[in-house]
Structures are given as structure tokens and as C-alpha cells.
A and B are shown apart, each in its own frame.
Chain A
Amino acid sequence: EAQVTQNPRYLITVTGKKLTVTCSQNMNHEYMSWYRQDPGLGLRQIYYSMNVEVTDKGDVPEGYKVSRKEKRNFPLILESPSPNQTSLYFCASSSTVVDQPQHFGDGTRLSIL
């Protein structure tokens, strides 16, 4: 089954404790992206990747890192999480950026205390 898998689905942690949210897709997609979703603000792009070893900042990259060492994986790293990063996060992938629909994971709800 074609899917985007995120882990963990839920995480409660404390300020400053490094965490990684994993994202994996099994569709051989070139493009992968991370979004955060907050009430009233919709989906905002954090980082995206056009291919292996190619990453770029989205609209809200501050406080986040990503890597794309393999085509299927695109982890999101919070080196020193802060409470304003409490949010719902989605990973997505697609074969092209503009003219192919993105497939989304089920989301990761992060709470930073």
C-alpha cells in the first residue's frame, strides 16, 4: 500500500530536549516536505526536499533541521525544542512539486512543555 509513515504519532517532551520525527515514503517520490498546522494558520511549510541531499527552507524553518540521505526518508529534527513548537506536524511526498498531488502522513502531535 502506498503510504507516508510518520513516527511518533504523539510526543510530549520538555524544552531543550532534542527530538526527531521520522518520515518514510514507499512510493519512490522525489519531493518531500514538512508542514506544521496550527489553529487559524492552516498548513505552513517548514522544509522541503527536491531530491536526495537537496533540502530547502520553507516559510517557517526557524528551530528545525532536516536531512535527506535516502530517497525514502526525510526526518525532522528539533535540536532544542521550545513551547512555541507545540503543534501538529505533517510529512508529505509527491513525484513532482507542482503538477502531482502530495500524499500526507497521519500527523505527529508534539507538545513541548
Chain B
Amino acid sequence: LAKTTQPISMDSYEGQEVNITCSHNNIATNDYITWYQQFPSQGPRFIIQGYKTKVTNEVASLFIPADRKSSTLSLPRVSLSDTAVYYCLVGFYRDDKIIFGKGTRLHILP
């Protein structure tokens, strides 16, 4: 049974780089990992997506090691406005199913 695991919460300081890891077992070579950000009273919002090695966009990077048992969302130089809950999601091609992690509450301190 596929499962994703994330830390429940993390604290960091403004200007730091923050890395949030998601562990996922039983993931195939082309299954996708997607990360979302959620603020209170809003729906989750897409951050980044990929299925291998490294993906970078204007707000984050996603690292997926060769064994694909985990992935890491990297937020460079966080600010107070990055305080939110971050969810990883794995999409499985074999059965068109998706699984969300339970979310990581990130708190950025001044």
C-alpha cells in the first residue's frame, strides 16, 4: 500500500533555505511528485512538480534521488509570507491514483 510521510512541522528563520522532505514507498520510475502550499482559509496552490533528479522554477526546487524513496522541496531564502502548510502528493501511473501527505506546517520566524 502506497504511503507518503512528511514532518508535521518545521521552524526556520527569514533568509534561510528550507528543505522539506517527503518519504514515499513503492513509487515507479515515472510517477510524479507534486508540492502544494496552503494558507489558512484557502485551497492548496501548486508550487512545483517533477518525476526525476531536479526541477527548479522561480519559487522552489524539487530534488528526487535515484532511489526515489523520498523527495525534497527546497525553498530558497524564505520570508515571513512563506509560513504555510506544505503538502506533497504522489501520482501513480499504474492505476491513475494520487496520495497526499498529511502536510508540513512551516513557521518562519523573523
Contacts and interface: CB of A to CB of B under 8 A. Distances in A.
B33 to A, nearest CB: 10
Contacts of B45: 104
Interface residues of A, number: 21
Given A41-B102, A98-B91, A90 B32 contact: no
Given A40-B102, A42-B100, A45-B98, A99 B91 contact: yes
B46 to A, nearest CB: 4
A81 interface: no
B43 interface: yes
A42 B88 CA distance: 11
Interface in B32-65: 32, 34, 36, 41-46, 49, 51
Interface of B: 31-32, 34, 36, 41-46, 49, 51, 87, 91-93, 96-98, 100-103
Interface of A: 4, 35, 40-45, 50, 90, 92, 97-99, 101-107
